[in-house]
A and B are shown apart, each in its own frame.
Chain A
């Protein structure tokens, strides 16, 4: 709004103009640049990653069926899927990057939106999960990198077999397949690794109990009537993932699995 004396008063920023003639690219840029559009992509990505986490967890539960089941499942994923595997890996990586990059950009802008904070902090109904999304997100993100380094690339730790150290990737079972079962046992029997995994599961849980309902709100699917259901769904999903993953880690760690 124009002011009589521009002197000390801030100049208006002027009107935001939406281009009427749009190419697909300008549309995409505008969409990703808008705070809601970017959020929608972050939410979509988040839902995708959460779904992956569920299937990942379910698959890993095969550990309770014994070495053969798990190793067969792993072999199936790695060899029978063929090109699909790389498609899935590429897709996951893409979703992950979009989710992280856009979320961090939003966070960056938000930090700029309040350069000076309040001296007396206060809040009414903001839950811890909601306020720590970026933090838990970063923890989970770093953990995923660690997880890849640990099990996919075998850089972090080595398994001990017959008194000598052997790379995770070189473990073989009776059928000559990659012995994922022994690898998991080797990993989670190490206290610091198990503790790290458990910690990360808690961070993921906290991230998801806000993230899942929040995604529904972002898609505009939340209303006063559905709010409780959606919140419940968030808790349920996050809880199931937490429970499954924690069960695997603790079971191995405490020796419930793999000691015959």
Chain B
């Protein structure tokens, strides 16, 4: 099956304008007749819910947190890109578009990325109007900084808490709608299933996490903004609660899952300290603006104190390998380079899995106060976690899973192949191709929620009659029953191991075989091991308590069960993509100097997977990527 992305015709720069000009509309009075469900309250979900409610739709919003202000968008530190060209450094919509497409190693849809760059400026305007306290110059105008994968200063930021401030902006917009009664908010409600009636998404099944009550909700359209699945690796920079369940259940109900193997490993995280560790902490990539990454030249120096290693014995490997971008090389490249030097035995720290990120030069040049002002909170966080003072000795960093470019397949209108199911933010696959550039996730989440979905959803809803299916429709009852059954089954196993132990084991498998470098043999082994582990899980997991009250062990087990199935899909996708591109590095496909080697002949497409049934191999569909404007080149940051 060839997937139709429904990209409007015409020149690249006019496609979005053309769509808006030709889209169908709904009169204000009629909008109130439509009900829209939004699942997730991160940047994408909260901004979409608020914007849709402002338009006049009846919006039901669900999140599993106790309040919509806690979604993991809040943890984004560095900033948000926008092609404002406030710096007079030659930025433009086209440049942001090109950087993003190139950063994604030419595996994203041209028209989507261009539209993203086009609305990027509006996002900054909108957020400033909401009162987001972006960093300012003394003259009162907005300040920007540079970020990985770009030679321009186009990143707007709020100290080291940009994600938090943007999310609070969206949360406040959402709160305003809640107070007007246009949004009905359902916190502590986890989506357990998607209800599809006659091929169209018609509602969701949720579990109230405190009362345990399973409930069904119907709508004219369902919007998933449920984030990414980096937690499939067990250790990642994601919050503990982040999971794949919503998108994976949608996949099992017929939505296609696109490019699941595109998972980003972020280069600057605090290294793992022991088996007890529950998550990894990111040190903002913005540190690479002023920091220099190095390891000792000789293996025998790794145990020495970093300040005792003279300049001549240090290998600034990013500057050496990529002289033009240096320490600002894109994430996938920086991560792989770090892994390489550690594999050579030159990694530092107790585990040998770490490289130095050194700000000593910047402190000397700009003074400790300026550095403290820019990165103080990061240095404090580093000290809290490691007990080391990064002002006097270099930080140790190591790559960690951070973001997933893959997600549910959507067309230009952000609708999946299931009519009525829209997917926004990290949960969809759309804009970042095989690698995301820093400060682009916030941009995409808010672009989808504020400026794209309100148009495309209206366009689609205008083509359907308003009206909800009855909640006692057999399909609702079946889905609710299945969700309940599954919880009961988990509770009944009564085995020996906790869900967390299985999750940790799954993480080891994926990190070893489906992590920063992948091979055919490894992937086959991974698939095999995942299947065994999944079988063991359903025989030997132990979930205490009941399903009628707050039971966090049950929630976790239910999510791990989905990860165990999803991991196999991820490995399978990695196996079938016989090329290296962006973050997807297959050792069989590399250039003589070890860079990713794309195969545009065979793989210049999106792989979208269709669920075929339990224990059946899913079906791989392709959406060819057509590049009308940019020329596919070998991505070089040298």
Contacts and interface: CB of A to CB of B under 8 A. Distances in A.
**Direct chain A–B contact by Cβ atoms under 8 Å:** yes
Nearest to A1: B185
Contacts of A8: 210-211
A2 B185 contact: yes
A100 B345 CA distance: 74
Contacts of A5: 208, 211, 213, 215
A209 to B, nearest CB: 34
Contacts of B215: 4-5
A4 B208 contact: yes
Contacts of A3: 186-188, 208
Interface in B355-377: none
Contacts of B179: 15
Interface in A1-36: 1-5, 7-9, 15
B178 A4 contact: no
Nearest to B68: A1
A4 B179 CA distance: 17
B211 A9 contact: yes
Q: Most B CB atoms within 10 A — which of A2, A5, A8? A: A5
B189 interface: yes
A9 B178 contact: no
Contacts of B178: 1
Interface residues of B, number: 15
B186 A9 contact: no
Contacts of A2: 184-186
A6 to B, nearest CB: 9
Contacts of B184: 2
B284 interface: no
B187 A1 contact: yes
Interface in B188-211: 188-189, 206, 208, 210-211
Nearest to A7: B211
Give the top 4 A-B pairs by smallest Cβ distance, nearest first: A5-B213, A5-B211, A7-B211, A5-B208
Interface in B149-200: 178-179, 184-189
A205 B534 CA distance: 71
24 contacts: A1-B67, A1-B178, A1-B187, A2-B184, A2-B185, A2-B186, A3-B186, A3-B187, A3-B188, A3-B208, A4-B186, A4-B206, A4-B208, A4-B213, A5-B208, A5-B213, A5-B215, A7-B208, A7-B211, A8-B210, A8-B211, A9-B210, A9-B211, A15-B179
Contacts of B189: 4
A7 B213 contact: yes
A2 B187 CA distance: 8
A4 B187 CA distance: 8
Nearest to B213: A5
A238 B63 CA distance: 53
A8 B548 CA distance: 11
Contacts of B67: 1
Nearest to A6: B211
Contacts of B213: 4-5, 7
A15 B277 CA distance: 43
Q: Most B CB atoms within 10 A — which of A4, A5, A15? A: A4
Nearest to B217: A4
Q: Most A CB atoms within 10 A — which of B185, B211, B215? A: B211
Given A1-B67, A5-B208, A7-B208, 11 more contacts: A1-B187, A2-B186, A3-B188, A4-B186, A4-B206, A4-B215, A5-B213, A5-B215, A7-B213, A9-B210, A15-B179
